[in-house]
Chain A
Amino acid sequence: MRRLLLGISLAGLSMGVAAAQSGSLTSSVVKTKQYIVFASDEQVVTAGKKSTVELHFKVNDGFHVNSHTPKSELLIPTNLTLQPAAGVTASAVEYPAGTAFSFSFEPGEKLDVYTGTFTVKIPVVAAAGSHTVQGVLHYQACDNAACYPPKSLPVEFVLTAKAAGALAR
């Protein structure tokens, strides 16, 4: 009985802490005037082996941003640039395909955009250990009636590379 009570208590505690930490994709962004939120999940890969890091972004409800390959050269593409990090070799960033979108006042013109959540993949090879990788997501957002100047969203994540045996455990 005591064990059960203790278990319930600890579960409650951990759930409480988890709930307090979650919502990184739903937290208010108005303060920083960003229209995309980045989920800074820890990335764990096998040391010395080619792996893929997935970065998750969420476009605020009611907004859209151009995809990496918008249909007009005048539009500003979503683009992620990473700073070199010691012990990490990153290959070209892989972007998801966008979805078709057109403004209600201009139904004939199709745009290629990201809405909701989208995931960017980065092929990496990392040396054993923990590495902090920094970068910037450059994007330009619009809603149904207006557009917003291009923004730069700082991106930072911790990449932990473990030996193959350690990862299996």
Chain B
Amino acid sequence: MRRVLILSVMVVGIALLLWAGWHNLRERRLAMQQARDRQVVLIPEKQGEAGEQAGEMPVMRGKAAPAFALTSLEGKKVSLADYKGRPVLVNFWATWCGPCKVEMPWFEQFRKQYAAQGFEILGLADDVDAGKDAIAKVASKAGVTYPILLTDGKVQTAYGGLDVLPMSFYVDRNGVIVEQTAGLGSKDQIEANIRKTIASGAPSQAGGQ
């Protein structure tokens, strides 16, 4: 009887040990896989890859850009509808986001370069705690002259929740999001997306509308 009891305890013990080992291994593999997936999303190697594999991030490409009306640093009311008929880059950034500040001077350069095609950039500061002065200081340091708008908490939700910064939405002249990117891309990728946005819905392609 005792022998049976001891054997039973042994079997249960070994089974528990095996199960725990398997469970831990599985959890670790899952966590590693998820970390790897996230890495792919944030550091795209190819143009247009960001966003496509953005797991939890809703894909906004092909959808109408959510409307917004926000206040600029100068206190002016600015809405996306004001730019109807023009290609617009809607860029979410924050003062505490290093990668965001890297691409801002590039945006400024491309804004000038593609101004003739009506291209505009709207920088939406996704800062809850930073004051207006801090936001203005960072924008000025980056050499930004495009409108910087203060977010209202609702616009972030409308654009999918924004769990990552920088986040950019390339909106064509018809108000459709033609590209979305999460994280810092290369300068070439950004320019390619701008060109794609300008070309999308252009009069020659849209049958002369």
Query: How far apart sit A39 and B128, CA to CA, in the bound complex (Å)?
Result: 29
Q: B130 contacts the other chain (Cβ, under 8 Å)?
A: yes
Q: How far is the CB of B208 from chain A (nearest CB, A)?
A: 41
- With contact pairs A5-B10, A27-B27 given, residues A147 and B97 touching in the complex (Cβ less than 8 Å): yes
- With contact pairs A12-B16, A28-B31, A145-B43 given, residues A140 and B96 touching in the complex (Cβ less than 8 Å): yes
Could you list 19 A-B pairs, sorted by A, with CB under 8 Å?
A6-B6, A9-B6, A10-B9, A12-B10, A12-B16, A13-B12, A13-B16, A16-B13, A16-B17, A20-B23, A26-B27, A30-B34, A61-B35, A106-B98, A140-B96, A147-B96, A147-B97, A147-B98, A148-B165
Q: B89 contacts the other chain (Cβ, under 8 Å)?
A: no
Task: List B contacts of A145 (CB < 8 A).
Answer: 42-43, 99, 183-184
B13 and A146 contacting across the interface, CB-CB below 8 Å: no
Question: In the complex, how many residue pairs between chain A and chain B have their CB atoms under 8 Å apart?
Answer: 131
- With contact pairs A2-B6, A61-B35, A143-B39 given, residues A149 and B95 touching in the complex (Cβ less than 8 Å): no
Q: B30 contacts the other chain (Cβ, under 8 Å)?
A: yes
Residues of B within 8 A of A (CB): 2-3, 6, 9-10, 12-21, 23-24, 27-28, 30-31, 34-35, 38-39, 42-43, 94-100, 102, 126, 128-130, 134, 138, 162-166, 182-184
Q: How far is the CB of A7 from chain B (nearest CB, A)?
A: 10
Task: List A contacts of B129 (CB < 8 A).
Answer: 76
Q: How far is the CB of B130 from chain A (nearest CB, A)?
A: 7
Query: How far apart sit A19 and B138, CA to CA, in the bound complex (Å)?
Result: 49
A146 and B183 contacting across the interface, CB-CB below 8 Å: yes
B43 and A144 contacting across the interface, CB-CB below 8 Å: yes
B31 and A27 contacting across the interface, CB-CB below 8 Å: yes
Q: How far is the CB of A153 from chain B (nearest CB, A)?
A: 16
Task: List B contacts of A15 (CB < 8 A).
Answer: 17, 20
Within 8 A of B (CB), among A94-118: 103, 105-106, 109, 111
Query: How far apart sit A76 and B10, CA to CA, in the bound complex (Å)?
Result: 53
Residue of A nearest to B12 (CB): A13
A6 and B9 contacting across the interface, CB-CB below 8 Å: yes
- With contact pairs A5-B10, A148-B164 given, residues A23 and B28 touching in the complex (Cβ less than 8 Å): yes
Query: How far apart sit A133 and B14, CA to CA, in the bound complex (Å)?
Result: 37
